[in-house]
Chains A and B, each alone.
Chain A
Amino acid sequence: MLIPLRLSTQTDEQLMQRATRGSDRAFEELYNRYARRLQGFFVRRLGNDADLAADFMHDTFLRLYAAREKYHEGCNFRAWLYTIAYNLCKNHLRNQLAVVHEDKEVADSQNIEVDIDEGILHEALLDVLRSLPEPYAMLFSLHYEEELTIPQIAQITDLPEGTVKSRLHKAMNIIKQNLKQYENR
């Protein structure tokens, strides 16, 4: 007796394997899982341009579809997807992502205490994240918003894991320091 396959129960990697063997339904399932999330990532990384973000998301999946036969077992699907997305962002932002704005004052800070009203935290954090410089903004987004692991980010950005860790730490310090402007409001 044939049991109908439920694609929604399959892992990303299993779906990608099916897509590699020519299953468009499997690829569509992957699209349904990640399109919205990826489009949101592009919106945040490309300056809130929704149309541009939709184009980039579309382009990412088209590239993924074109290269689906190169996918091999054991390769993490999300890391692969975000590698394409990251490279598209990097090309769009030229070499901006490679520029490190060293801020010694922030880098040396270990424990920054922020006391802020919870009611304005959303608005304050939104402003702070939008003004976060590259490459910290990209790393923060990949790690905390897209929930990729540090080894995956190191693979995507082609940076050593230690560098990713230290920059994430600096990113958090910059955010805290900028949030201090919203204290006592």
Chain B
Amino acid sequence: MKIDNQDIIRTAQELRDEENRQLHVSPWNHHHRVHIPTWLVAIPAAAIIGFVLGIWTQASSQTDTPQTALVDTVYIKEPAMPSLQDSVIQDCSAAVQTSDASTPIASTPVARPTATNPSAKGRLLPSSGRSVAEDHIRYDLLVRN
């Protein structure tokens, strides 16, 4: 058959329709989500971030080492004043030695800081440094790194 312009146009349009019919076209909503205002996202996001940061800050402050644990315990030696009891004992030993010099006393009673002797305990304190009076260093203010 003779082909003219109209035959070509009609056939081209039939081919177009056939091709278009076979296409898979996604719906618009598939491509374009519903528009949400920015503030509607930003405000809840800021609230959530603030809440999480607050919880985290609170938890971390509880786990921190207390500041006082960083300070060394320093014992300061106090000049011991002889008590009345010590002087009595010393006097007694001297008296014993004087009375019998050939049999010396095996042990001289020395007052030791014990739980049953509170007076002695208060008199002789453990020390890890020198007294403030000797070197003028405030050991109680030293901080462990």
Contact = CB atoms under 8 A, between A and B. Distances in A.
Interface of A is mostly: helix
Interface of B is mostly: helix
Interface residues of B, number: 25
A125 interface: yes
Contacts of B3: 114-116, 121, 176, 179
A36 B20 contact: yes
A183 to B, nearest CB: 9
A57 B27 CA distance: 12
Interface string B94-106: 0000000000000
Number of chain A interface residues as a range: 35 or more
A40 B16 contact: yes
Contacts, number: 76
B46 interface: no
- Closest CB pairs A-B (n = 8): A40-B20, A31-B28, A114-B3, A28-B28, A145-B16, A36-B25, A35-B25, A125-B11
Interface of A: 24, 27-28, 31-32, 35-37, 39-40, 43-44, 50, 53-54, 57-58, 61-62, 65, 113-118, 121-122, 125-126, 129, 140, 144-145, 172, 175-176, 179
Interface of B: 1-3, 5, 7-9, 11-16, 19-20, 23-26, 28-29, 31-32, 34-35
